[in-house]
Amino acid sequence: MSTPSSTVHPSSWRATGAAELTPEAIDQIDRWWRAANYLSVGQIYLLDNPLMREPLTRDHVKPRLLGHWGTTPGLNFLYAHLNRAIREREQSTLYVTGPGHGGPGLVANSYLEGTYSETYSDITQDDEGLRRLFRQFSFPGGIPSHVAPETPGSIHEGGELGYALSHAYGAAFDNPDLLVAAVVGDGEAETGPLATSWHSNKFVNPVQDGVVLPILHLNGYKIANPTVLDRISDDELRDLMTGYGHTPYFFNGGFDGEDPVEVHRRFAGLLDEVLDHIARIKADAHAGNEERPAWPMIVFRTPKGWTCPPVIDGKKTEDSWRAHQVPLASARDTPEHLEVLRGWLESYRADELFDADGRLLPEIADLAPAGELRMSGNPHANGGLLLKDLRLPDFRDFAVDVPTPGGAVAEATRVLGTWLTDVVRNNPDNFRIFGPDETASNRLQAVYDATDKQWNGEFYGPEVDEHLARAGRVMEMLSEHQCQGWLEGYLLTGRHGLFTSYEAFIHIVDSMFNQHAKWLKVTGDIPWRRPVASLNYLLSSHVWRQDHNGFSHQDPGFIDHVVNKKAEIVRVYLPPDANTLLSTYDHCLRSRQYVNVVVAGKQPAPQFLSMEQAIAHCSRGLGIWEWAGTEVVGEDPDVVLGAAGDVPTLEVLAAADILRHRIPDLKVRVVNVVDLMRLQDEKEHPHGLSDKDFDTLFTSDRPVIFNYHGYPWLIHRLTYRRTNHPNIHVRGYKEEGTTTTPFDMAMLNDIDRYHLVIDVIDRVPSLRSTYAGLRQEMVDARLAARQYTREHGEDIPEVREWVWPDVGETATENGGPQYDAAAATGGDNE
């Protein structure tokens, strides 16, 4: 692998013209292609005898044939041709392989380019190296069958399909000299995320961003079916691609016994034409043309399984779905298939490709560009090499002034937005904010003081197009898939960002998160992969405040989904107010190789911690809020009220307020949790608390009422091994919603202050009989509160106007902090 470097080979976007290739040049490409194909077939089938120096026997064939041939020869063909063009144009290029199960092809090309041996020193450029290369593929202890993190040059595994173009565009943003050749499988093209990702071209800036060249690999078949885009007319496909805003270039090659020389000649010409077209667009844009260009894309129609045996066991195989995986599944067990395999391997004429030692002939190797221009050696594909720390403004400067707990009101995400404004200012080319039309809805609109939403569709003028510009740091498209995919591509190529979304709808990208978390887990164990910036979520418009939208917008389960992934990768934060959110996010933007999930409200809410307190609290991740409790130092409390999440915290404090007035002798401890993983055992998660520390906070035998933002059982899952677990009672979201007042929503799920008091009375034995009256009062209060909402359409004044008692006395005099400003500020959007 190349040495760490932040300088990428400059690109000139040269227009070279479509020179007619010499026969030698064509032969070089063809031999590279044959070599890549040979190495691909070898990886799938061969355990030994890599260059067939001895007669092929069953013992040379792997006992379990695992992998995919179908897409591979097409990928190899494109790779060979791109190499010729890259070398001629010195064009820094990244290769994104949509059909990721074409893994053997990408490994083969990396090997031919030399990067594979540079990266893995035991895979040498000789016979023995070839044997190891073949053997390790999809083999126990070896490498995966996909274009996984182990593959040099990859930022896109392609295991789950749909994200090739969004990853490609993510890589292109802010890399003005980078070409991303993105192969889209025609199977993948049927997925939803891919179908909308063509529209990325309305969001890319022709001057400041790089260029994505989509190549639709139309080989006609999926696992067992034709593909949709192959079975519509060329006219329809042309319309579709034109409608997506592209200039389609059609290429059909390799059918009906077409001479490979002819195929190469034609494709080389077309590729030059396309790259010249791109160069012209780039030049135009630099010359000031602001019209959105119809970027070229290539419809690359070639046979599936190209160059494999046309017919196997009497069934058409090449150019059919039967070539998808391993066309000769019983090559080891049936002599006939072994013979077919031998013939197939021999068809590539390895003796014209490798020398006596098994080394690629120099006249073929010469096709590869030099150093970092090799696609398998492009530093953008190992983004950590290029990663620079963000220049972060001091978040303390953006603190909300909280003179006493509850003594200020703020919208947490709006405050975060002010800090992000300076993050944007300080980092004009390596930080972006992604969101599905919700950046303002989630109250980050302060960032528009420093930047705009990048947009390359038509403009209608300032009357309606606020903060919309041809270049900007905010990327908004109504597709969570696009936001996630763009951000992943941006991060994996060494930049920073965050994704802000409604909490409920982040589940749309559950499976994308899975794949990214798996990528991070694997790269953590690959020494040459340098750490990349964390993927940061900001989930607002959360379950408790879906005033406009109700039940369908209520789902706090993304946290549950996330914590199934490796503990070393995932972090979950629930800051209870603005200052804790600032401190948390500063931490997130500094971190590497994590997925950070931060859930924070956007509604006006009381602020509890000064910045100094917030920093201390976030450093600990959880802690006792002494000012809120009534415990006696040195003694265990009678009851612990725990909270994680802003609304649950508010209700816990309101309950603590009632308890201190109504049961003054009760020793109440209030514990707040910001870093959810602190609840887990230290053996389970790097942030986990020791049992001793946990017991100190939550006691070993006192009742704990834990008011949680999400589904209650997650808290049980995290704490079931703790000493005091039998006494932990969790309140959380129970899939009860549709209400339109915040407090009614809390009551429906029993996280409200009155129910918490009931919980305390029910669980502290000494209170049950003595405080039966208060208990009944709480039951009545709930009924009355509900009745009031049905009458008035808003929450009872006691709840709307409640303030923490320390500030109540002075605050009420001058009107006090008011945090039921939802109506005034419009509540949740969408």
CB of 504 to a second copy, least distance (A): 7
CA–CA separation, 569 and 559 (whole Å): 13
| Angle, alpha carbons 108-118-145 (nearest 5°) | 35
Stretch that binds a second copy, among 50-58, 183-191, 266-274, 367-375 (CB under 8 A): 183-191
Question: Please, which residue, 492 or 774, has the CB nearer to a second copy?
Answer: 492
CB-based burial label for 669 (10 Å; 0-12, 13-18, 19+): buried
> Which residues in the 551-590 window bind a second copy by CB under 8 A?
551-553, 555, 557, 560-561, 564-566
CA–CA separation, 211 and 401 (whole Å): 46
> Which residues in the 26-85 window bind a second copy by CB under 8 A?
47, 62-68
- Contact flag: residue 514 with a second copy (CB under 8 A): yes
- Contact flag: residue 167 with a second copy (CB under 8 A): no
From the list 58, 359, 592, 716, which residue makes contact with a second copy (rule: CB under 8 A)? 716
CA–CA separation, 420 and 700 (whole Å): 42
From the list 32, 38, 120, 221, which residue makes contact with a second copy (rule: CB under 8 A)? 221
CA–CA separation, 215 and 226 (whole Å): 19
Q: What residues have CB less than 8 Å from 239, skipping those under 6 apart?
A: none
Contact indicator for 61, 140 with CB cutoff of 8 Å: no
From the list 41, 194, 572, 666, which residue makes contact with a second copy (rule: CB under 8 A)? 194
Segments of 135-236 assigned E as strands? 179-185, 211-218
Stretch that binds a second copy, among 216-224, 367-375, 572-580, 603-611 (CB under 8 A): 216-224
Pairing status of strand 604-607 against strand 639-644: unpaired
CB of 316 to a second copy, least distance (A): 5
> Which residues in the 97-156 window bind a second copy by CB under 8 A?
100-101, 138-142, 144-146, 148
Q: What is the DSSP string of 529-590?
A: SPP-B-EEEEEES-GGG-TTTGGGG---THHHHHTTS-TTTEEEE--SSHHHHHHHHHHHHH
Question: Please, which residue, 236 or 701, has the CB nearer to a second copy?
Answer: 236
- Contact flag: residue 508 with a second copy (CB under 8 A): yes
- Contact flag: residue 739 with a second copy (CB under 8 A): yes
CB of 633 to a second copy, least distance (A): 33
From the list 370, 616, 784, 823, which residue makes contact with a second copy (rule: CB under 8 A)? 823
Cβ count within 10 A of residue 54: 9
Which run of H or E residues covers position 32? helix 23-45
CB of 555 to a second copy, least distance (A): 6
> Which residues in the 317-336 window bind a second copy by CB under 8 A?
319-321, 324-326, 329-330, 332-333
Site string for a second copy, 794-813 (x = CB under 8 A): x-------------------
CB of 246 to a second copy, least distance (A): 10
Question: Please, which residue, 352 or 459, has the CB nearer to a second copy?
Answer: 459
The tokens for 510 are: 């559950």
CB of 188 to a second copy, least distance (A): 7
Question: Please, which residue, 617 or 685, has the CB nearer to a second copy?
Answer: 685
Closest C-alpha among 107, 111, 113 to residue 87? 113
In 339-371, which positions are buried (b, 16+ CB within 10 angstroms) versus exposed (e)? Answer: ebbbebbeebebeebbeeebbbeeebbebbbee
> Which residues in the 433-452 window bind a second copy by CB under 8 A?
437-441
CA diameter of the chain: 99
Stretch that binds a second copy, among 83-91, 169-177, 584-592, 819-827 (CB under 8 A): 819-827
Closest C-alpha among 613, 536, 542 to residue 580? 613
The tokens for 442 are: 């989630």
CA–CA separation, 647 and 96 (whole Å): 43
CB of 553 to a second copy, least distance (A): 6
- Contact flag: residue 159 with a second copy (CB under 8 A): yes
The tokens for 705 are: 């009422």
- Contact flag: residue 515 with a second copy (CB under 8 A): yes
CA–CA separation, 81 and 158 (whole Å): 22
CB-based burial label for 132 (10 Å; 0-12, 13-18, 19+): middle
From the list 15, 18, 52, 195, which residue makes contact with a second copy (rule: CB under 8 A)? 195
CB of 364 to a second copy, least distance (A): 30
Site string for a second copy, 518-557 (x = CB under 8 A): x--xx------------------------xxxxxxx-x-x
DSSP H stretches of helix in 151-199: 164-172, 192-197
CB of 611 to a second copy, least distance (A): 30
- Contact flag: residue 738 with a second copy (CB under 8 A): yes
From the list 392, 725, 763, 806, which residue makes contact with a second copy (rule: CB under 8 A)? 725
Stretch that binds a second copy, among 8-16, 671-679, 738-746, 774-782 (CB under 8 A): 738-746
Closest C-alpha among 193, 183, 186, 185 to residue 229? 186
Tell me, rounded to whole angstroms, the distance of Cα 324 from its chain centroid: 28
Q: How many residues bind to a second copy according to rule CB under 8 A?
A: 141
CA distances (Å), origin 102, targets 88, 98, 118, 212, 539: 26, 9, 22, 20, 35
Question: Please, which residue, 629 or 732, has the CB nearer to a second copy?
Answer: 732
CA–CA separation, 464 and 459 (whole Å): 9
> Which residues in the 456-485 window bind a second copy by CB under 8 A?
457-460, 463-466, 468, 476-482
Stretch that binds a second copy, among 1-9, 184-192, 593-601, 773-781 (CB under 8 A): 184-192
Pairing status of strand 468-469 against strand 453-454: parallel
Site string for a second copy, 235-274 (x = CB under 8 A): -xxxxxxxxxx-----------------------------
